[in-house]
Amino acid sequence: MNLLLPLICLLLLPLAGVGNAQTVATPNFYDQRQRMTKPDLGGRQRIRFLTTTDYPPFNFLDQRARLAGFNVDLVRAICEELDIQSRCQIEAMPFGDLVDALKSGEGEAIVAGMAMTPATRASLAFSEPYLRYPARFVTRKDRPLPSPIAEALAGKTVAVEEGSAHAAMLGAFFPDVTRQNFATRAEALAAVKESRVDAFFSDGVSLSFWLESDAAEACCVFSDGPFFSDRYLGEGLAIAVAPNDTTLARSIDYAIGQIVQKQRFSELLLRYFPVSPF
């Protein structure tokens, strides 16, 4: 599916920012038009979620070597909504072992950024996506690009990482822009900082952390967007279950719907993304 969706096409949830009462707009990727009744998982003795420790800020080990991250807290919230805290477990293992562990019954769900592809869909079932990866333009603070950015890009030069999905996406949806390829992300970001290009188009999640880093030197901001594309950026993050366990997948969908409705999802985004990638 070839989609490019600016955030205004999604439901925005205004929420006070942590600590500074700043109003932040966060996205809701869950279709609240769905009406689901609370599922009954009373017959299950255990529901174990499998994850990894090498995908920050989604799942990682904190300074005390405890499992932490966006996905970890999301699992806790899901278990609370389903009233299964006493039977809910989360365990970390190498990414390559996740599918085999699920198939052998060592776990009931995988929450580790597993891509939804024809190959994974052939052997797994998935919840609805709970988060999609945004593409963003980064510009210098003193040279921001106004919205609509397609018009503002006329006569501008945009940096991309050569061979990346974002380079292909930029070419498809902004065909008239002057594109400058860089071998690495670091080189492209340096070009923005030094005003050798007008913008850099790349992954909004990683860029949100770069904007807050010492390397950025408070030089830059997001301009317009975010932009989404299933074709170039994938369908987003979802929770995988065994192919015949659609009951658990739909139960997870119900729980995430409740988490979104209660704005707990927005709280998680604000907790783990100091600068919102959305």
- Per residue, the 3-state secondary structure of 115-147, as one string, reads CCCHHHHHHCEECCCCECCCEEEEEECCCCCCC
- As a whole number of angstroms, the distance between CA 167 and CA 269 comes to 26
Residue extents of the structural domains in the chain: 11-132+235-272, 135-227
Residues 175, 237: contact at Cβ < 8 Å?
no
- Integer-rounded Cα Rg, in Å, for the chain is 20
- As a whole number of angstroms, the distance between CA 235 and CA 256 comes to 17
Q: Which CATH class is domain 11-132+235-272?
A: alpha beta
Would 11-132+235-272 and 135-227 be classified into the same CATH topology? yes
> How high is the pLDDT of residue 13?
33
Cα dihedral angle (249, 253, 259, 262), rounded to 10 degrees?
A: -150
Residues 110, 51: contact at Cβ < 8 Å?
yes
- As a whole number of angstroms, the distance between CA 61 and CA 232 comes to 30
Cα dihedral angle (28, 34, 35, 39), rounded to 10 degrees?
A: -80
pLDDT tens for 155-194 read 899 999 999 999 999 999 999 899 999 999 999 999 999 9
CATH superfamily, domain 135-227, is Periplasmic binding protein-like II (3.40.190.10)
Length reported for the chain: 278
pLDDT tens for 121-158 read 999 999 999 999 999 999 999 999 999 999 999 889 99
Residue corresponding to tokens 């301009």 = 223
Which letter does DSSP use for residue 89 in this model?
E
Q: What is the pTM of this model?
A: 0.82
Residue 50, token pair as written in the block: 């499998």
